[in-house]
């Protein structure tokens, strides 16, 4: 089963308390594909400029990712973002955002991409997300990401897209902002009423939450001694999560058990992502390393639920 992702391919300049990089490969589609490629064939759709170098092409094609639909815009420059993280890397300041070729991006999907059975709509304008969703007639399970910008300036368009997907992935504050509900639980239930069968709330260093009609599942972030660069962690999580679903989706609808296992793989991959800058760690990651961290998560989150003797 193949998987298509539509989103940004970028160069990032990042400074954290642990160092800096003036130019490194980034973008939502890039981080997503590097993680998802552990599980299935990934087709990437997004634009790059003349400055997209051979090393970047090689990294993007890690583990066989198909780049036939990556559009090279002659004379253009690749999307560029520059940011600086604070002392505990929990928040960051954006210093530069140059959309470049991404500003006029109109997704061009090959027939092979539109036939993919699983589709991920990374963070782009909701109108473009809807165009892609409608074009991908072969998609049987669709997940999407977004951001506070689109919630504020394209709310109605965003709602139209959400109603066409199976899973919405946002951070918890964005879910509450989107719905106007005061708690994550209320916000997730509101979104489920719009049509998706699953809602995933990213909670940064605290982990992630899965909400479906059948239950609520919370998984902590993998405990790390050192976090070097959080850039792309959310997209890496999404790549592991959606990639796992794509590789193991043999039922309709997708079960809660499958989604919970997918959460573990997304969490494990995201934990490796933040250990080094940009794509450096995930690009050379091995399957054995991923499995080992998932097994750690399973041990850490298991306990004996036998009732205790409580005083009346």
Q: What is the pLDDT of residues 118-177, one digit of tens each?
A: 999 999 999 999 999 999 999 999 999 999 999 999 999 999 999 999 999 999 999 999
pTM of the model: 0.96
Could you tell me which residues come within 8 angstroms of residue 152 by beta carbon, excluding any fewer than 6 positions away? none
Quote the tokens at residue 41. 């064939």
> What does the pLDDT profile of the chain (312 residues) look like in tens digits?
689 999 999 999 999 999 999 999 999 999 999 999 999 999 999 999 999 999 999 999 999 999 999 999 999 999 999 999 998 888 899 999 999 999 999 999 999 999 999 999 999 999 999 999 999 999 999 999 999 999 999 999 999 999 999 999 999 999 999 999 999 999 999 999 999 999 999 999 999 999 999 999 999 999 999 999 999 999 999 999 999 999 998 766 799 999 999 999 999 999 999 999 999 999 999 999 999 999 999 999 999 888 888 987
Q: How many domains is the chain partitioned into structurally? A: 1
Give the pLDDT of residue 91: 86
Residue 311 counted as domain residue: no
Whole-Å CA distances, 217 to 139, 155, 234: 26, 27, 18
Q: What percent of the chain has pLDDT over 70?
A: 99
Q: What residues make up the domain containing 122? A: 2-300
CA-derived radius of gyration, the chain: 19
Contact in structure between 121 and 139 (CB atoms under 8 Å): no
Give the pLDDT of residue 87: 86
Could you tell me which residues come within 8 angstroms of residue 141 by beta carbon, excluding any fewer than 6 positions away? 117, 118, 119, 166, 167, 245, 246, 249, 254
Residue 305 counted as domain residue: no
Give the pLDDT of residue 308: 87
Give the pLDDT of residue 311: 86
Rounded Cα gap, residues 259 and 241, in angstroms? 8
* Domain containing residue 74: CATH number: 3.40.1190.20
Residue 284 counted as domain residue: yes
Cβ atoms within 10 Å of 292's Cβ, excluding its own: 11
Cβ atoms within 10 Å of 73's Cβ, excluding its own: 17
Packing angle of the helix pair 28-36, 233-248 (nearest 10 deg) = 40
Could you tell me which residues come within 8 angstroms of residue 165 by beta carbon, excluding any fewer than 6 positions away? 121, 133, 142, 143, 144, 195, 196
Give the pLDDT of residue 251: 64
Contact in structure between 163 and 144 (CB atoms under 8 Å): no
Strand partners, 14: 21, 83
Give the pLDDT of residue 312: 78
Rounded Cα gap, residues 217 and 310, in angstroms? 26
Residue 309 counted as domain residue: no
- The string of pLDDT tens digits covering residues 120-135 is 999 999 999 999 999 9
Q: What is the DSSP string of 82-97?
A: EEEE-TTSS-EEEEEE
Residue 312 counted as domain residue: no
Phi, psi of 43 (to 5 degrees): -110, 125
Rounded Cα gap, residues 276 and 175, in angstroms? 29
Residue 306 counted as domain residue: no
């Amino acid at each position: 089963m193949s998987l298509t992702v539509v989103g940004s391919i970028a160069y990032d300049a990042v400074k954290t308390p642990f160092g800096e990089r003036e130019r490194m490969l980034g973008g939502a589609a890039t981080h997503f594909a590097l993680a998802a490629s552990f599980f299935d064939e990934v087709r990437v759709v997004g634009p790059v400029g003349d400055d997209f170098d051979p090393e970047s092409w090689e990294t993007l094609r890690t583990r066989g990712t198909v780049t036939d639909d990556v559009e090279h815009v002659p004379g253009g420059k690749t999307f560029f973002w520059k940011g600086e993280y604070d002392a505990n890397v929990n928040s960051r300041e954006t210093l530069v955002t140059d959309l470049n070729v991404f500003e006029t991006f109109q997704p061009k999907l090959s027939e092979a991409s539109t036939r993919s059975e699983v589709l991920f709509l990374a963070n782009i304008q909701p109108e473009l997300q809807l165009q892609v969703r409608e074009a991908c007639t072969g998609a049987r399970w669709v997940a999407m990401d977004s951001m506070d910008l689109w919630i504020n300036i394209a709310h109605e368009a965003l709602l139209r897209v959400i109603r066409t997907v199976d899973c919405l992935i946002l951070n918890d504050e964005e879910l509450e902002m989107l719905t106007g509900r005061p708690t994550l639980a209320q916000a997730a239930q509101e979104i489920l009423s719009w049509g998706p069968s699953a809602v995933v709330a990213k909670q940064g260093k605290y982990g992630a939450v899965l909400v479906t009609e059948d239950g609520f599942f919370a998984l902590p972030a993998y405990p790390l001694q050192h976090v070097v660069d959080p850039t792309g962690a959310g997209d890496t999580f999404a790549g592991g999560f959606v990639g796992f679903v794509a590789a193991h989706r043999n039922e309709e609808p997708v079960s809660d058990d499958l989604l919970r296992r997918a959460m573990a793989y997304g969490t494990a991959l995201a934990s490796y992502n933040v250990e080094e800058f940009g794509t450096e760690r995930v690009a050379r990651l091995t399957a054995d390393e991923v499995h080992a961290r998932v097994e750690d998560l399973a041990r850490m989150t298991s306990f004996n639920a036998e009732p205790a003797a409580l005083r009346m």
